[in-house]
């Protein structure tokens, strides 16, 4: 079942001369984890914002093509209606805290209050989201007193509580230390095992190689490739697009060790270990 | 976490009274001494306010607030006591300065009104969580947007102060003089403005995106996580306060 259909999406920001997205088309199935990679200015964040309706409703600008999210056409839907289908988590954990609530528990309730849910339903959803993201023990703390990783997990919990079917994560670990990043990736792993459809922009390529079902490689506003991670990371021209292959792939390439079954270079530690093991 | 809130967390009967009743108390404490302009009325309202502050165990917190306006009130007393038009009855003399009864009485009346208003506001602010106050107002029809601005500003301004501190530290680490004479501080302030304004604008835009994706612009009816606490005595207090204002009006008209 297709959750997201992007068809020939073109977009230009109001003050820009050039298109930020130049005719992107892709389809995402329910429960898939899609990694989005590419150099700075490739259009990754713009694509994320197009999936949640911020492009064009928040930024305005010139828009062409279509994006359909779980049956809703983005251009014809309000952001608040789309928010029930697709949630967005972005880079800065600090600015995702509303600032209007004094506790983590109330912070998660913010979106649910806007949805007009009854109290019992809210409590059930908040408890579940905080438990899933492993921050229930901080429920009475002020959101601004959390660490970066905890605050980012709070941002994810606040989105999850709204029960969207899709979550878009735009570089959620770029401002976090290694421990905070690991906390977020563990949370993402949990969401994936829950069968949620995830789209994640991330520069930590090894993590994308580990988690993603498919990878979208963007460059200059165009979709260069949209395939299984092992296919994308095996491209000989990958570095031309400003993306380095995972470290395991580079080592195996230097050592000329390929996976026996696929004939491609491994992209994960497990894959590399298996490929080396098969040599013996 | 630092906030701009002056709320004092105590378990007292005053803390348990709902914010609307406290707002009505502000109205009554302001209006009644104006409707019935005798010193006795102002003194009774003052006594009630002090009793409520003591009951709420927050009286000591009010003293610094009062000391802020003491200078202004003393000025009113001196100027009115000496120079008010209609001053005819000398009360006492300090050197060559003669203080008159009429002017001093007028100044005392004004001062009591100001103190009454301040104490009534203090009862509200010191015994009510800002989030509870704004949530109550939104329930009663205040725009959720205004409610959000009022409640977020208390937390976001201290965060902006932290940002200013970070930028100042960054500039200081690159050799900029930020401490010393007033001229040095002023020179350091100018290069601070650009980064602070830019980072605040960026943060505001990002936060507005975060609000949008959490349905802040949804047109449906909002709900609330916290239950509205409606004790029977809340209604009694509200009606009592409204009735006292009406009675003061009737008294004034009849007199």
Reported ipTM:
0.82
Same domain membership, residue B95 and residue B39: yes
- Give me the long-range contacts of B217-221 (CB less than 8 A, separation at least 24): B217/A78, B217/A79, B217/A80, B218/A80, B218/A83, B218/A114, B218/A115, B218/A116, B219/A80, B220/A115, B220/A116, B221/A116
* Phi and psi angles of residue A255, each rounded to the nearest 5 degrees, phi first: -90, 0
Q: How far is A127 from chain B (nearest CA, A)?
A: 13
Number of separate domains in chain B:
2
Query: Are B159 and B113 found together in one domain?
Result: no
Check if the beta carbon of residue A153 is closer than 8 Å to that of residue A187.
yes
The mean pLDDT of B5-11, rounded to a whole number, is 87
The answer to the question of residue B48 being in a domain is yes
Q: Which two tokens stand for residue A179?
A: 């421990």
The token duo for A168 is 């878009």
Nearest partner of A97 among B197, B220, B203, B5, judged by Cα? B203
**Confidence band, pLDDT 50/70/90 cuts, at residue B2:** low
Q: Is residue B171 part of a domain?
A: yes
pLDDT grade, residue B160 (50/70/90)? confident
* pLDDT score of A64 more than 80: yes
User: Do A126 and A260 belong together in one domain?
Assistant: no
**Which of B210, B217, B229 should be substituted to probe chain A, the one whose Cβ sees the most A Cβ atoms within 10 Å?**
B210
Whether residue B236 sits in one domain with residue B208: no
Quick one: A137 and A260 in the same domain? no
Alpha carbon distances (Å) from B245 to A240, B18, B253: 78, 19, 12
Over range B139-145, report the average pLDDT: 91
Mean pLDDT, rounded, of chain A: 92
- Binned at pLDDT 50, 70 and 90, residue B1 comes out as low
- Taking contacts as CB-CB distances below 8 angstroms, the residues of chain B near A94 are 159, 203
Say if residue B243 is in the same domain as residue B157: no
Number of separate helices (H) and strands (E) present in chain B: 9, 2
Shared domain for A71 and A205, answered yes or no, is: yes
Query: For residue A265, what is the DSSP state?
Result: -
* H-helix or E-strand spanning residue A5: strand A2-12
pLDDT at site B232:
85
Same domain, B130 and B25: yes
Shortest CA gap B195–chain A (Å): 17
Q: Are residues B30 and B107 in the same domain?
A: yes
Chain A nearest-CA residue for B159? A144
pLDDT at B52: 96
Domain match, B29 and B90 both: yes
| Integer Cα distance of A112 and B207 in angstroms | 17
- Asked whether the beta carbons of A212 and A9 are under 8 A apart, the reply is no
Q: What is the CATH number of the domain that holds A149?
A: 3.40.50.300
Domain contains B225: no
Its pTM stands at 0.81
**Euclidean distance between CA atoms A144 and A95, whole angstroms:** 10
A192 shares its domain with A277: no
Q: What letter does residue A119 receive in the DSSP assignment?
A: H
A170/A43 Cα distance (integer angstroms): 11
**Residues A158 and A193 both lie in one domain:** yes
In this predicted structure, the answer to whether residue A48 has a pLDDT above a threshold of 90 is yes
B7 inside domain: no
* Chain B contact residues (CB < 8 Å to A): 1, 3, 129, 131, 148, 151-152, 155-156, 159, 203, 206-207, 209-227
Q: How far apart, in whole angstroms, are the C-alpha atoms of residue A85 and residue A166?
A: 6
B218 closest CB neighbour out of A94, A105, A114: A114
Least confident of A178-192, A194-208, B5-19, B67-81: A178-192
Residue B96, domain extent: 13-135+230-254
- Contact between residue A166 and residue A51 where contact means Cβ atoms under 8 Å apart: yes
Using CA atoms in the order B121, B126, B129, B133, what is the torsion angle rounded to 10 degrees?
A: -10
CB contact under 8 A, B129 and A87: no
Q: How confident is the model at residue A276 (pLDDT cuts 50, 70, 90)?
A: confident
pLDDT score of B185: 81
Would you put residue A166 in left (φ > 0), alpha (ψ -120 to 50) or beta? beta
> A31, A12, A33, A75: which is closest to A215 by C-alpha?
A33
Q: Which residues of B141-165 are buried (b: 16+ CB within 10 A; e: fewer)?
A: eeebeebbebbbbbbbebbeeebbe
Beta-strand pair A197-201/A166-170: parallel
Cα Rg of chain A, angstroms? 19
Which of B214, B227, B229 has the most A C-beta neighbours within 10 Å, making it the best mutation to test the interface with A?
B214
Number of domains chain A contains:
2
Domain of residue A157 covers: 2-245
Q: Are residues B122 and B199 in the same domain?
A: no
In a domain, B217, yes or no: no
Strand, coil or helix: B36 = coil
> Quick check: A114 and B213 CB within 8 A?
no
DSSP-derived letter for residue A84 is T
Q: Nearest CA to CA, how far is B106 from chain A (Å)?
A: 43
Q: Exposure string (b/e) for A22-49, b if CB count within 10 Å is 16 or more? A: bebebebeeebbbbbbbeeebbbbbbbb
Please report, for residues A61, A276, B201, the alpha-carbon distance to residue A58 in angstroms, rounded to integers and kept in the order given: 9, 50, 16
The DSSP code sequence of B130-178 is HHHHHHHHHHTT--HHHHHHHHHHHHHHHHHHHHHHHHHHHHHHTT---
Output the pLDDT for position B59: 92
By Cβ distance, the residue of B1, B129, B227 closest to A119 is B227
Q: How confident is the model at residue B162 (pLDDT cuts 50, 70, 90)?
A: confident
Residues B178 and B73 in one domain: no
The angle formed by the CA atoms of residues A42, A45 and A48, to the nearest 5 degrees, is 125
B120 and B31, same structural domain?
yes
Query: Is-contact A224 A232, C-beta < 8 A?
Result: no
If asked whether residues A278 and A188 sit together in one domain, one would say no
Q: Are residues B125 and B32 part of one domain?
A: yes
Which strands, in side-by-side order, build the sheet including A33-37?
Answer: A86-89, A166-170, A197-201, A33-37, A214-219, A222-227
The reply to whether A39 and A172 lie within a common domain is yes
A80 and A118 share a domain? yes
Nearest to A119 among B212, B219, B225 (CB): B225
pLDDT at residue B239, as a whole number: 95
Nearest to B252 by CA among B29, B47, B30, B33: B33
For chain B, the helix, strand and coil percentages under 3-state DSSP, each to the nearest 5: 70, 5, 25
Would residue B98 count as lying in a domain? yes
CA angle (A31 as vertex; A28, A32 as ends), nearest 5: 50
The percentage of chain A sitting over the pLDDT mark of 70, rounded to a whole number, equals: 100
Residues A182 and A230 both lie in one domain: yes
* Contact yes or no for A106 and B131 at CB 8 A: yes
Same domain, A212 and A250: no
B118, B235: one domain: yes
Are A215 and A256 contained in the same domain?
no
Q: Do B214 and A79 count as a contact with CB atoms less than 8 A apart? A: no
- The 10s digit of each residue's pLDDT in A171-211 is 998 888 888 888 888 888 888 888 899 999 998 999 999 88
- Same domain, residue pair A277 and A197: no
Quick check: A104 pLDDT over 90?
Answer: yes
pLDDT tens, position by position, B185-199: 888 778 888 888 888
> Is residue B223 included in any domain, yes or no?
no
- Residue A280's pLDDT is 66
- CB count in 10 Å sphere of residue B94: 10
* Pairwise CB contact (< 8 Å): A116 & B222: yes
Quick: pLDDT tens for A141-178. Answer: 999 999 988 999 999 999 999 999 999 999 998 888 88
Peptide linkage before A189 cis (omega within 30 of 0): no
Nearest Cα neighbor of A166 from A57, A48, A43, A59 is A48
Is residue B8 assigned to a domain? no
More confident position, B159 or B60:
B60
């Amino acid at each position: 079942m297709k959750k997201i259909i992007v068809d020939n999406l073109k977009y230009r920001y109001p003050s820009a001369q050039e298109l930020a997205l130049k005719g992107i088309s892709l389809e995402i199935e329910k429960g898939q984890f899609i990694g989005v990679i590419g150099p700075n200015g490739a259009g990754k964040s713009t694509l994320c914002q197009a999936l949640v309706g911020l492009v064009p409703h928040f930024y305005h600008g010139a828009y062409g093509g279509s994006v359909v999210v779980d049956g809703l056409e983005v251009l014809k839907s309000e952001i608040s209606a789309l928010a029930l289908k697709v949630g967005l988590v972005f880079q800065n954990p600090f600015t995702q805290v509303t600032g209007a609530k004094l506790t983590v528990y109330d912070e998660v309730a913010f979106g649910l209050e806007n949805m007009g849910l009854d109290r019992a339903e809210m409590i059930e959803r908040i408890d579940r989201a905080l438990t899933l993201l492993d921050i229930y023990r901080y429920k009475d703390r002020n959101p601004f007193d959390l660490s970066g990783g905890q605050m980012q997990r709070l941002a994810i919990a606040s989105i999850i509580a709204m029960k969207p079917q899709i979550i878009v994560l735009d570089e959620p670990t770029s401002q976090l230390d290694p421990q905070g990043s690991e906390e977020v990736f563990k949370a993402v792993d949990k969401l994936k095992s829950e069968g949620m459809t995830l789209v994640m922009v991330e520069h930590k390529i090894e993590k994308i190689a580990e988690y993603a079902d498919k990878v979208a490689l963007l460059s200059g506003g165009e979709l260069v490739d949209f395939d299984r991670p092992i296919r994308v990371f095996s491209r000989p021209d990958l570095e031309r697009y400003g993306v380095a292959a995972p470290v395991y792939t580079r080592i195996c390439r230097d050592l000329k060790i390929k996976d026996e079954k696929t004939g491609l270079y491994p992209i994960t530690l497990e894959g590399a270990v298996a490929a080396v093991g098969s040599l013996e | 976490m630092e906030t701009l809130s002056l709320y004092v967390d105590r378990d007292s009967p005053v803390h348990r009274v709902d914010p609307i009743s406290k707002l009505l108390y502000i109205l009554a404490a302001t209006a009644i001494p104006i409707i019935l302009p005798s010193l006795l009325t102002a003194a009774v309202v003052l006594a009630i306010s002090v009793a409520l502050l003591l009951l709420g165990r927050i009286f000591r917190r009010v003293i610094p607030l009062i000391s802020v306006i003491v200078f202004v009130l003393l000025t009113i007393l001196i100027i009115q006591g000496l120079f008010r038009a209609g001053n005819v009855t000398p009360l006492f003399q300090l050197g060559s300065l003669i203080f008159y009864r009429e002017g001093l009485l007028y100044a005392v009346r004004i001062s009591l009104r100001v103190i009454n208003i301040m104490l009534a506001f203090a009862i509200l602010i010191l015994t009510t969580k800002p989030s509870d106050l704004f949530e109550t107002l939104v329930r009663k029809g205040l725009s959720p947007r205004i409610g959000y601005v009022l409640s977020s500003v208390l937390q976001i301004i201290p965060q902006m102060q932290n940002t200013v501190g970070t930028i100042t530290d960054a500039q200081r680490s690159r050799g900029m003089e930020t401490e010393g004479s007033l001229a040095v501080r002023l020179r350091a302030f100018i290069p601070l403005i650009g980064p602070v304004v830019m980072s605040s604008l960026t943060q505001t835009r990002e936060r507005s995106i975060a609000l949008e994706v959490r349905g802040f612009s949804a047109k449906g009816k909002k709900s609330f996580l916290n239950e509205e606490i409606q004790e029977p005595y809340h209604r009694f207090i509200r009606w009592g306060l409204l009735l006292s204002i009406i009675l003061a009006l009737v008294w004034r008209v009849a007199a």
